[in-house]
């Protein structure tokens, strides 16, 4: 049984708390490793060490910090296969999905190579007579990221890259369900030239999270996870005077207009609804066809596509569509919600219950499910399922479809499929959701834009990656400067008259 470690001061360090969590192989259901759960004292020591290391790192010029980011990009490309295999082994997602996970984090490191430009302040000459005014962006000090299991490479990199490029020290508390890749990333950062102590990876549970929330040295916290935990971290962190950004749950709707290319829409729903076993905050979990004819034709196209989906372990090769979910508890929760949908009157068009993978009967595999005639009062509509379950809610008009997405408590992502530019433009303008796709099912912005949801999907004023990340991880100092002019006579300045 492998025993994992923390990463402290540039090396792997065994946990001292005596507490551990199981790390499963989702394909087999077996425990493959133990991960230590840090105590409050361990967290405090790691944070104090990071605070000492940050002083020199914060004084390092941005160009040199950008070169470390560039080195990291090269190392991520070099070790892509190794990282993807480790990620798939703990999370369960396919190798292509795992490589995508790493790639989207790598792209944020690419963006952060431009730290010298992104950290430039502003300058005004002669703001007043003989007065210049300028601003500069300076690091906060020690900051932290608390990241989820479903993207164990991407989200930690979304947090650490801009934080480190800005001159901060960074405390990463990854998910204890998939801890190996974050530790591997820390070792690569050291190889890239990051000084020891500037990045600490501390595994843990609620005790570690509360230690971060309550530690006076931590200046900012970024979180991705469920909405209840996001609200907890946001409220407690803000109460302790920290800068906090938290991203929570989602229930992403995709509206299919009568004029849409239904083959294109069906293909999009297969990838967006069932890819990565639905364990994505940007997954499409609600299809909203407009008109019964559109709905009937869409269901007709979806069913054979869903029935052809290949479910299996990542070791089965690249033709697998999705793998197991992350834990037995996650599987049980998905099955409970599916049964609730049946009990509450939704039509289960494709029934994935009872799915078993031959040779992997104890794995956490969930078959694909498709519901039709779902209503807004059903649990499968109100709750984020985080599994391979697609719900169809029929709307009779565009306005009714728009209202469904706008009235839902979550506002992470949404999409519309249509051939009509006026409809698409109206949708993009009016929808109260943070990320919008037009004939694009999963509208995740690229690294040089910003990622973030609205309503109960996001808490805080600034989003992830893009220019917002550098604003979040720095604070602005504004300097007003006047240098007296004149001739020195008798030990005193005689100032020229200033108009």
The catalytic residue positions are 281
Return left, alpha or beta for 460; rule: phi > 0 is left, psi -120 to 50 is alpha, else beta.
left
Sheet arrangement for strand 458-459: 11-13, 6-8, 199-201, 169-173, 142-146, 218-224, 243-247, 458-459
**Alpha carbons 167 and 57: distance in angstroms, whole number:** 6
Tell me the backbone φ, ψ of residue 489, rounded to 5 degrees.
-130, 130
**Alpha carbons 58 and 173: distance in angstroms, whole number:** 21
Cβ–Cβ < 8 Å for 303, 349: yes
Rg of the chain over all Cα atoms, to the nearest angstrom: 25
**Alpha carbons 392 and 379: distance in angstroms, whole number:** 13
Cβ–Cβ < 8 Å for 366, 277: yes
Residue 365 per-residue DSSP state: -
Size of the chain in residues = 499
For the chain, give percent helix, strand, coil, nearest 5.
Answer: 40, 25, 35
Q: In 3D, which of 406, 400, 380, 408 has the Cα closest to residue 392?
A: 380
């Amino acid at each position: 049984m492998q025993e994992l470690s923390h990463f402290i001061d540039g090396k792997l360090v065994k946990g001292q708390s005596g507490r551990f969590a199981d790390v499963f192989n989702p394909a087999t259901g077996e425990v493959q490793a133990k991960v230590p759960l840090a105590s409050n004292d361990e967290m405090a020591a790691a944070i104090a060490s990071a605070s000492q290391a940050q002083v020199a790192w914060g004084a390092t010029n941005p160009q040199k910090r950008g070169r470390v980011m560039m080195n990291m990009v090269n190392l991520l490309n070099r070790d892509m296969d190794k990282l993807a295999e480790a990620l798939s082994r703990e999370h369960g997602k396919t190798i292509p999905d795992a490589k995508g996970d790493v790639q989207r984090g790598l792209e944020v490191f690419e963006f952060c190579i431009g730290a010298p430009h992104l950290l430039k302040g502003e300058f005004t000459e002669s703001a007043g007579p003989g007065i210049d005014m300028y601003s500069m962006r300076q690091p906060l000090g020690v900051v932290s990221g608390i990241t989820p299991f479903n993207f164990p490479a991407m989200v930690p990199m979304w947090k650490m890259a801009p934080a480190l490029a800005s001159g901060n020290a960074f405390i990463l508390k990854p998910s204890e369900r998939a801890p190996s890749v974050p530790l591997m990333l820390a070792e690569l950062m050291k190889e890239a030239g990051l000084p020891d102590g500037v990045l600490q990876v501390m595994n843990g549970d609620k005790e570690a999270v509360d230690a971060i929330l309550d530690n006076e040295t931590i200046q900012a916290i970024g979180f991705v996870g469920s909405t209840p935990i996001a609200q907890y971290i946001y409220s407690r962190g803000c109460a302790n005077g920290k800068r906090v950004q938290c991203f929570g749950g989602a229930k992403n709707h995709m509206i299919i207009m009568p004029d849409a290319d239904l083959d294109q829409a069906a293909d999009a729903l297969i990838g967006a609804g069932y890819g990565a076993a639905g364990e994505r905050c940007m997954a499409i979990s609600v299809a909203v066809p407009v008109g019964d004819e559109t709905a009937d034709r869409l269901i007709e196209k979806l069913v054979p596509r869903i029935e052809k989906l290949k479910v299996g372990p990542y070791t089965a090769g690249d033709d697998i569509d999705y793998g197991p979910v992350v834990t037995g508890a996650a599987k049980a929760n998905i099955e409970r919600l599916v049964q609730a949908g049946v009990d509450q009157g939704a039509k289960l068009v494709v029934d994935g219950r009872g799915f078993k993978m031959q040779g992997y009967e104890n794995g956490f595999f969930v078959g694909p499910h498709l519901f039709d005639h779902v209503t807004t009062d059903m649990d499968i509509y109100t709750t984020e399922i985080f599994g391979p379950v697609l719900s169809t809610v029929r709307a009779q008009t565009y306005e009714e479809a728009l209202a469904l997405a706008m009235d839902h408590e979550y506002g992470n992502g949404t999409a519309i499929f249509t051939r009509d530019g006026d409809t698409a433009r109206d949708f993009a303008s009016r929808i109260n959701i943070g990320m919008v796709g037009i004939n694009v099912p999963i509208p995740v912005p690229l690294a040089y834009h910003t990622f973030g949801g609205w309503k109960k999907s996001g808490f805080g004023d600034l989003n992830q990656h893009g220019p917002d990340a550098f604003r979040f991880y720095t604070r602005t100092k504004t300097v007003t400067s006047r240098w007296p002019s004149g001739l020195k006579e008798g030990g005193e300045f005689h100032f020229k008259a200033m108009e």
